[in-house]
Structure 1
Amino acid sequence: MKLISWNVNGIRACVKKGFLDYFREMDADIFCIQETKLQEGQIELELNGYYQFWNYAHKKGYSGTAIFTKIKPLSVSYGVGEFQEEPEGRIITLEFESYYLVNVYTPNSQRDLARLSYRLEWEDRLREYLSTLDNIKPVILCGDLNVAHQEIDLRNAKSNLGNSGFTIEERGKMTDLLKSGFVDSFRWIYPERAEAYSWWSYMNKVRERNIGWRIDYFIVSSKLCSLIEDAEIHSHVLGSDHCPVLLKAAFA
């Protein structure tokens, strides 16, 4: 099975930059996107053979997630547990026969960390939700998680320590998640691979020089580790300030 996750930073703009060419070339079984930045009816994607599920933010041109899947899910839900009212459109969960797929666009704590406390509460709710699901059947979590977990996951670790996405608190929440029975699939396969990033600033020549962060993930239940075949970062694919990440696995 082939799964892809991509923060497209505006699906309408990304479509104009080759999204559909990449989508068709990859022919993934499940394709998740984040930061769609639109409302219902603002785009129609002809994706033959795929079911489409969208979660729109109430605020126009902001946030939003979607999943395109060849496999019809048993159920679909939005939000986290009892937090079904999810005005920023950040989470979609699909239930399949042998696992749950959770597509997430984690809130950014913002440059001045004004949203850090909200972000940390979000992390606790998400971890509790994932653990609840994992008690029923294994979980695949994917998306822009807005954190570089370890120093190896960004180019300039020392100068970014304490900045949004690399605070001790945010990194600690990722550690807590992994300790609760989950695995970072990329680090499972490539524990020491450096300079492997999925996001770059739009500042001049930053992407060219690969001054990036790895903040897009496939996190899976530890009971699925033996089924992971590969994890890839498609840094050559343009169209967004993020690039797609891919998980190959022998999931049923």
Structure 2
Amino acid sequence: MKLISWNIDSLNAALTGTSTRAEETRALFHQIADLDPDIIAFQETKLRKDPTKKHRDVLAEIFPGYTAVWRSSVEPARKSYAGTMYLYRDSYSPVVTRPVIGAPSTMDQEGRILTLEFPHFFVTEVYTPNSGNGLKRLADRQIWDDRYREYLQRLAADKPVIASGDFNVAHQEIDLAHPDNNHHSAGFTDEEREHFTQLLDAGFTDTFRHLNPQATGIYSWFAQRVRTSKKNNSGWRIDYWLVSNQLADKVQESKMLDTGERRDHLPIELDIDLII
């Protein structure tokens, strides 16, 4: 089974925009379609509510034979903010849930978690809240991390879990290019890293690190506003495929996909020996 996960930073811009960046994103959509994945997870869709007819038409053209399900930010949260989406093969019929985990502030209304239940496992994606400039959302983020870990544990008590998404944390120093300069930056605080450790300790495996325990210089995010970030390989690994520990030995590949000159998040691929 092949799965792709990607923070795309606005589905509307990607599907209907005319900028160079939009064209780059659509080209990557076609590359992903050529990989013939079973499931595709998107984060940070930024849809105002539901995909428009134009959105659906373009998705159907690029990804024929897939069903789309989504979750958008709703009031009292900001509209056109966060959001998640799955595309899965039309031949599949998962149970789709949009869980509320008891997160603080408006986080439960921001469309951050979407889950597919199959007969023998769950596939779930997350767009984890960023702690923000000046770490102003760090306290809420820590509560989120606790509630999210508890949610995955509840799923795992029923059947194994495959979880992906933008977790907004670089777990170890080898997961970013400049750890010494970022210990007080959102995504690399001691608190965020410790909560990610707690998540793994709760029974989950970081599949990339499982297959590449000492690999350095491999990242999933490059700052869009820093023109040289990708050229200089000055990135962070903050996007993950996690699996329940009992599935770790079934993982065949976990990697980042090349996005050429396009900065921001890279799609991440998981190949695992499972049948839906």
Name the TM tier (shorter chain).
Answer: over 0.9
* 1:55 aligned partner: 71
Aligned counterpart for 1:65 among listed residues 72, 79, 84: 84
The share of aligned pairs that are identical, in percent, is: 40
* Unpaired segments ≥5 residues, structure 2: 16-21
The answer on whether the counterparts of 1:14 and 1:240 sit within 8 Å (CA) in structure 2 is no
Deviation at 1:99, TM superposition (A): 0.5
Which letter maps to 1:35? E
Match of 2:35 among 16, 23, 26: 26
Tell me the secondary structure at the aligned position of residue 191 of structure 2: helix
Contact 1:9 1:240 in 2 (8 A): no
Higher relative contact order (CA 8 A, sep 6+): 1
Q: C-alpha deviations, 1:169-199, integer Å up to 9, x for none?
A: 0000000011111000000000111011010
TM-superposed CA distance for 1:48, in Å, is 1.8
Distance 1:237 1:123 in 2: 32
1:99 & 1:81 partners in 2: Cα distance? 20
Task: Give the aligned CA root-mean-square deviation in angstroms.
Answer: 1.8
Paired position in structure 1 for 2:222: 200
Higher mean displacement: 229-238 or 55-64: 229-238
Instruction: Return the match for 2:251 from 209, 217, 228.
Output: 228
Q: 1:189 aligns with which of 205, 211, 215?
A: 211
Unaligned runs of 5+ in 1: none
| One-letter amino acid matched to 1:72 | Y
Q: Secondary structure at the match of 2:135?
A: coil
Aligned residue identity for 1:219: L
Following superposition, the deviation at residue 239 of structure 1 comes to 4.9
Looking at structure 1, the residues matched to 113 and 274 of structure 2 have their Cα atoms a distance apart, in angstroms, of 22
For the structure 1 residues 121 and 211, does the alpha-carbon distance in structure 2 shift closer, same or farther, using more than 3 Å as the test?
Answer: same
Q: 1:238 to 1:92 in 2, by over 3 A?
A: farther
Superposition deviation, residue 37 in structure 1: 1.0
Q: Aligned residues, how many?
A: 252
TM score, norm. by length of structure 2: 0.87
| Deviation by residue 1:184-236 (Cα, 9 ceiling, x = unmatched) | 00000001110110101121211111100000000100000111001111133
Compared with structure 1, are the counterparts of its residues 96 and 64 closer, same or farther at alpha carbon in structure 2 (3 Å cutoff)? same
Would you tell me which structure has more helix in proportion to its own residues? 2
Q: Answer with 40-49 or 3-12: which moved more.
A: 40-49
Matched, 1:38 2:61: no
Instruction: Indicate which of 106, 117, 135 corresponds to 2:139.
Output: 117
| TM-score, scaled relative to structure 1 | 0.95
Which residue is 1:76 aligned to? 96
Within 1, Cα distance between the matches of 2:43 and 2:204?
21
Return structure 1 stretches of 4+ with deviation > 6 angstroms.
none
